Amino acid sequence: MNKIFAPAIKLMNRLTFPSKIGLLGVLFCIPIGFMLIKLLDKYAVDIGFAQSERHGLAVIMDARQVLQPLQAHRGLSRLYLSGDTAIESRLQETAKKVDNALIKLGQSNAQYGEELKTVKDLEAVKNLWGELKVTGKQLSVAENRARHMTLIGQLMTLITNAADNSNLTLDPDLDSYYLMDAVVFRLPVLGETLGNSRALASAIAKKKEGIDREQVELSGLAKALELDLASLQADYAKSIGANPDIKAALSEKSAQVLAGLTKYHSYLKEQFIQVDKVEIDTKVYFEEVSKLAESMYVLFDVTAAELDTLLLKRIDRFASDRLQTLIITAVALLTALFLFFGLLVAVRRAFSIINQGASKIANGDMSAEIFSDTKDELAEVTQSVNAIVVNLKKFVSAQLEMAKAHNEAGRVSYQMRAEEFPGAYGEMARNANEMVQSHVAMNSRFVDLMVQYATGKFDDKMETLPGEKQKVSDTAEKVRAEMESAYHAARFNARVRAALDSVSVPVRIANDEGKILYINKALQDTLYKYQSAFSQQIPGFDPNHIVGNSIGMFYSDPQTAIQRLRAIVAVTKSRLELGGRQYDVVTTPVVNEQGERLGTVGQWLDMTEQLAAEKEIAGLVSSAAAGDFSQRIAEQGKEGFFLQTAQGLNQVMGTSEAALNEIARMLGALANGDLT
């Protein structure tokens, strides 16, 4: 099945939804438009058919106005040529009627003759009539009658051609068809039969007797009259039977004419055919038959008018049906177009709502439910999307609950209830649980190792993890190596610090930016001992907050001092006066194994007592050199080497002074002659 519809599916998949609906609408409208065009064309043909019938009927009705006086002219001519010259004025009057009727026929023929192909027929009628008017009175009765018969025959041909070429003879409706048959064939033929019989019977009546040939001809006309009368009666009966609405217009008049013709048929048989001697008044007979002919042509006019009314109604009906078809089609198309755009807007709006909802879901916004007021498959899609949102909300809520349990409550064993989620959502929950537990296990393992490493146990190592997790195992191994190295370094540093704290010489360690990282106990004691003196030189000095501060605090120009320290590349000695005391500072740069400079180490040698002792000793020596041995070095405030040196020098000076005083005394006694 899919193979059969594969091309259609492929085409539809390549089109947007409006294009799909538009394509289907066009494909739907093509056959409807085709059928509508065909139907409208059929209506146009039917209307044209009926209008053409009316054109033919108009010409036939005008031809009938020629036929009636022409038949009368034939009868009057026979009477005139038979010796009744009293009717000459009437004959001329009838000829004038023929002329006037031909003028009117010429007008209608000029309008429809080309369409009905009756132009030549009318031309022939006019030519024959023109000749007959000129020569009719000079002809014999038989020749005059023959010329009239030829003329009337040509006129009947015109009527027949007008009927054939106007589609009257192909009329599709029963009521109008039988009225057409009466107008085109029966009534004209009956009129001609009636006229011939009137002329022939008038001639017989004038002679009071007929010859066998005339009676045989009259008998034939009577028989033809009988047959045509039956046909005419059948036409009216069938037409009225097919359309009872025309009964009121035709029933009474047709019944009168048919009754008159029936009576006339009986009259011919009784008074002319079945008798040897005719005993009737020719003029009376002629007038009575003329009245009958007049009534028959009145019936012709009524029938033709009714036929024209039926044709007009048919045209109106076709036009009304065409208009109704156009209106219904237009309303249907407008309704379809309205519904099409309604469907397009509704579907696009539904798609837009679904798309907006899906976009929100794609962007993580699941706050609003998608609402659709349709009751079609799109509503089902909306419900499905909402169901997805519900499941996603539930899944996200479960994830947030797990994250809260893990992050805030510290319940790392917490897992989502995977069994509460359908299908793939349950699988996602199980996978999330497994992933989280895997990370928890990995973190727990990492933490356990860090605890071990922190306590100096470096034997256990983290297993090499796959993929990107290998960064964790690599980091754990790196941390292990660095912590083990740091552990050993810390132990070494602890021993170094313990040694430095045991050194009596004040020592400080600073980084390359001049920040003091360490001072030993000897320097700490010095700072405490001379705090008041240092505070006078260093505002805000606090021996408890030396570590972490800049080494520049001990110099008058801190930045220059730090730059000088940064420039040291070898052991450097300098003199620092601080709080009235003199220090010899031995500064050594600190460089690691990679040659990277880390900072400096400074030793503070308090030279204050030494310099003071040197000064006192120099003064003492100078006094002694001048012979003054009474000077002494102050022993107060000295200790250790300097106290022993002072005591020793003071003892030497005392001994030297006593000896010199004794020598002076002896020399004085000797000078006085005292040799005892």
What is the token pair recorded at 336? 């379809």
Residue whose entry in the numeric block shows the structure tokens 């169901």: 387
Q: Which amino acid is at 579?
A: G
Helix, strand, coil % in the chain, rounded to nearest 5: 75, 5, 20
- In angstroms, the CA 109 to CA 118 distance is 7
**Which of 550, 521, 524, 525 lies closest to 538 in space, CA to CA?**
550
For the ranges 75-79, 321-325, 473-477, 559-563, which has the lowest average pLDDT? 473-477
Instruction: Enter the pTM of the model.
Output: 0.57
Count CB neighbours of 137 within 10 A. Answer: 13
**CA dihedral sign of residues 492, 498, 500, 503:** negative
Q: Identify the pLDDT of residue 208.
A: 67
- As a whole number of Å, the end-to-end CA separation of the chain is 161
Contact 381, 354 (CB under 8 A): yes
Range 221-246 average pLDDT: 93
pLDDT at 343 over 80: no
Contact 136, 149 (CB under 8 A): no
**Which of 650, 655, 614 lies closest to 633 in space, CA to CA?**
650
Whole-angstrom Cα Rg for the chain: 74
Q: Identify the pLDDT of residue 657.
A: 67
For the ranges 313-317, 469-473, 533-537, 583-587, which has the lowest average pLDDT? 469-473
Query: Among residues of the chain, what percentage have pLDDT more than 90?
Result: 33
Predicted confidence band of residue 349 (pLDDT cuts 50, 70, 90): confident
DSSP state letters, 113-165: HHHHT-HHHHHHHHHHHHHHHHHGGGS-HHHHHHHHHHHHHHHHHHHHHHHHH
- In angstroms, the CA 265 to CA 454 distance is 148
pLDDT at 564 over 70: yes
**Which of 419, 358, 420, 348 lies closest to 384 in space, CA to CA?**
358
- In angstroms, the CA 325 to CA 338 distance is 19
Calculate the average pLDDT of the chain.
84
Q: Identify the pLDDT of residue 591.
A: 86
- Tens digit of each residue's pLDDT (9 = 90 or more) over 437-485: 777 777 777 778 878 877 877 788 888 888 877 887 888 888 888 777 7
Count CB neighbours of 581 within 10 A. Answer: 18
- Tens digit of each residue's pLDDT (9 = 90 or more) over 251-288: 999 999 999 999 999 998 888 888 777 778 878 888 88
pLDDT at 114 over 90: yes
Alpha helices in 550-632 (DSSP H): 558-566, 608-625
- Tens digit of each residue's pLDDT (9 = 90 or more) over 196-220: 888 788 777 777 665 567 778 888 9
- 3-state DSSP call for residue 578? strand
Residue whose entry in the numeric block shows the structure tokens 């021993």: 495
From residue 675, alpha-carbon distances to 145, 267, 661, 664, 670 in Å are 234, 238, 17, 14, 6
Angle of helix 17-81 versus helix 282-362 axis, rounded to 10: 180
Q: Which helix (H) or strand (E) holds 428?
A: helix 423-454
Q: Identify the pLDDT of residue 637.
A: 65
Q: Which amino acid is at 452?
A: Q
Q: Identify the pLDDT of residue 206.
A: 74
Q: Identify the pLDDT of residue 169.
A: 94
pLDDT at 406 over 60: yes
Residue whose entry in the numeric block shows the structure tokens 């070494």: 492
Contact 298, 23 (CB under 8 A): no
pLDDT at 179 over 70: yes
Range 359-371 average pLDDT: 71
582 forms beta bridges with: 577
Query: What phi, psi does 603 have (nearest 5°)?
Result: -110, 130
Range 84-106 average pLDDT: 94
Contact 519, 507 (CB under 8 A): yes
Q: What is the largest CA-CA distance in the chain?
A: 251
Contact 153, 188 (CB under 8 A): no
Q: Identify the pLDDT of residue 493.
A: 67
- 3-state DSSP call for residue 303? helix
What is the token pair recorded at 429? 């929950």
**Which of 467, 436, 461, 437 lies closest to 448 in space, CA to CA?**
461
- In angstroms, the CA 116 to CA 162 distance is 5
